Amino acid sequence: MTDKTLTRMDLSEAVFRNVGLSRNESATLVGQVLQHVSDSLVEGEQVKVSGFGTFSTRDKSARIGRNPKTGEEAPIPPRRVLTFRPSHLMKDRVAAGNAAKKG
């Protein structure tokens, strides 16, 4: 794995270079898109990005967990978690990138 991370600023810079908006407009656009995605997930909606994947939430029920250091049992409360399922196109693209790095 690499230590590279794609940041919000990187996305804004890509919009600036490829779309032609100003840097401020690009940052605002990226922020608004991410806010809309986040708001939709909070409302329990799925977010599908064609060719990329689907973000969704699911509810996990309460259960008994175990502290790995002490072995002591502890209750884990119910919660909602974020899930991501990549599209087949994304899976194929990542697999092709992995094959190119090896060969």
Residue 98 scores a pLDDT above 80: no
CA distance 10 to 27: 10
Domain 49-62+75-103 part of CATH 4.10.520.10: yes
- Single out the residue of 37, 38, 56 nearest to residue 46, CA to CA: 56
Q: How confident is the model at residue 70 (pLDDT cuts 50, 70, 90)?
A: very high
Report the DSSP beta bridge partners of residue 53.
49, 86
Residue 103 scores a pLDDT above 80: no
Q: Concatenated DSSP letters for 62-86?
A: -EEEE-TTT--EEEE--EEEEEEEE
> What is the sign, positive or negative, of the torsion defined by CA atoms of 26, 29, 32, 37?
negative
Q: How many helices (H) and strands (E) does the chain have?
A: 3, 5
| Single pTM value for the model | 0.77
* Domain residue limits, the chain: 7-45, 49-62+75-103
Q: pLDDT of 37-48, one tens digit each?
A: 999 999 999 999
